Amino acid sequence: MPEAKDVFKKLKTEDFEEVIHALENTCLVLPAYKSMPNTVARMKKHAAHIKEILIQTIAKNHPARPSDIPRVKYLACIKFLNNFLNENGLVYSLNYDLLLYWTLMLGLDEKLLNVPPNDGFGKDGEFDNGEYTTSDYLIWQGDGKAQNQNVHYLHGALHLFDRGADIEKFTWRNTGIPLIDQSRDALSHDRFPLFVAEGDSKKKLTKITHSGYLFHSFKSFSQRMKTGGKPSCLFTYGVSFSANDQHIMRKIANGKCGHLFVSIFRDPESEQNKKIIAAVEELRRKRSSPELEVTYYDAESAQVWG
């Protein structure tokens, strides 16, 4: 499908949702201009194919069910998260997979977490003919009601879907339906997973600022960096500190967080680790005051999954 690839280039985006919407909306308009029926049919086919690519991308290397992960790994991850989920701690994720969400749900169900995780989602309620009813799904409660949110998906997540006026959270628990099938059903109803797929930092920030949920989480991270100080720290795990996350790194460099912990995998002299260390040292040089203390640690020593 060379035409579909060209659409991404023409729109200057890597956002699947933007391209799919562009193709589908064009299909609605073209008949008014007496375009060739084959063109519309091809565009519809390409839009459907891109949806399928998105589904396959989501499912690739991702467990279909929470039960696919051994319990002992969940327990190790809960132990790790308990170092940060407390009265003063917050968890920010740059990944959009479901592993954090599944772990938090197990920890919540079995009362293994220090404090209940709060991702800002809940059921909406309204009065209908004098009776108070609640929604069947969970939606993000907005800036005002999400002040106590302690879990933030900075780049979105696969269980968060854009419904236009609302951001819906799929609970996906105990359904027995594989992830790929649920994603396909959601996309068939024009509900797209809320995640930042753009390739560079500027485009990522643009997507973030145009989403109430994402911008709220980004503001939370920004505020936490501003009000840091020497006693505070930011513990990172699996973060590459690459150029496409400059919008995150700038907040650290311009903030007041006193201590930054950075994970590297095994040999510090590997090419990937050298890039991480160079990026972090550049970030440290940009900090004026207070001085940023940096500690590098072996990612394996955290034993996040045991």
Per-residue model confidence as pLDDT tens digits over 58-68: 777 788 888 89
* pLDDT-derived band at 170, boundaries 50, 70, 90: confident
pLDDT, residue 42, reads 84
Residues 99 and 42 in one domain: no
Q: Distance between CA atoms of 11 and 22, rounded to whole angstroms?
A: 9
106 pLDDT above the threshold of 50: yes
Identify whether residues 121 and 214 lie together within a single domain: yes
- 125 bridge partner residues: 134
Say yes or no: 196 and 131 in one domain: yes
Domain check: are 55 and 140 in the same one? no
Decide if 172 is inside a domain. yes
The answer to whether residues 15 and 134 belong to one domain is no
Please classify residue 235 by burial: count the beta carbons closer than 10 Å to its beta carbon, then call 0-12 exposed, 13-18 middle and 19+ buried: middle
| Same-domain pairing of 54 and 168 | no
CA atoms of 86 and 89, how far apart (whole Å): 5
Q: Do 18 and 130 fall within a single domain?
A: no
197-229 pLDDT, tens digit per residue, is 777 888 889 989 999 899 999 999 999 998 866
Per the structure, the complete domain to which residue 30 belongs is given by 2-59
Closest CA to 149 of 205, 104, 193: 104
pLDDT exceeding 70 applies to what percent of the chain? 89
Q: Are residues 146 and 207 in the same domain?
A: yes
Range from 140-144, 189-193, 203-207 carrying the lowest mean pLDDT? 140-144
Categorize the per-residue pLDDT at 126 as very low, low, confident or very high, splitting at 50, 70 and 90: very low
In a domain, 77, yes or no: no
Is residue 259 predicted with pLDDT exceeding 90?
yes
Does the pLDDT of residue 230 top 80, yes or no?
Answer: no
Residues 139 and 207 occupy one common structural domain: yes
Domain count, the chain: 2
Q: pLDDT at residue 94 above 90?
A: yes
The structure's pTM equals 0.84
* Residue 124: predicted pLDDT: 55
Single out the residue in 168, 200, 224 at which a domain terminates.
224
Residue at 244 is within a domain: no
Q: What is the pLDDT of residues 13-57, one digit of tens each?
A: 777 777 887 888 888 888 877 666 788 888 888 888 877 787 777
Residues 55, 129 within the same domain: no
Q: Please indicate, yes or no, whether residues 100 and 196 belong to a single structural domain of this protein.
A: yes
More confident: 17 or 292: 292
Mean pLDDT of all residues belonging to the chain: 85
| % the chain with pLDDT above 90 | 43
Residue 292 lies in a domain: no
Angle in degrees, CA 207, 211, 216, rounded to 5? 110
Q: Helix (H, G, I), strand (E, B), or coil: what is residue 156?
A: strand
pLDDT above 70 for 137: no
Residue 276 lies in a domain: no
Q: Is 54 in the same domain as 116?
A: no
Boundary of a domain, candidates 161, 190, 224: 224
Query: Does 140 fall in a domain?
Result: yes
**Of 187, 209, 224, at which residue does a domain stop?**
224
Q: Is residue 284 part of a domain?
A: no
Q: How far apart are CA 231 and CA 117, in angstroms?
A: 23
Q: What pLDDT is attached to residue 287?
A: 92
Residue 133 is predicted with a pLDDT of: 44
Q: Can you give 214-275 as a three-state secondary structure string?
A: HHHHHHHHHHHHHCCEEEEEEECCCCCCCHHHHHHHHHHHCCCEEEEEEEECCCCCCHHHHH
Structural domain includes residue 299: no
* pLDDT at residue 221, rounded to an integer: 95
Write the CA distances from 239 to 13, 245, 249, integer angstroms.
23, 10, 11
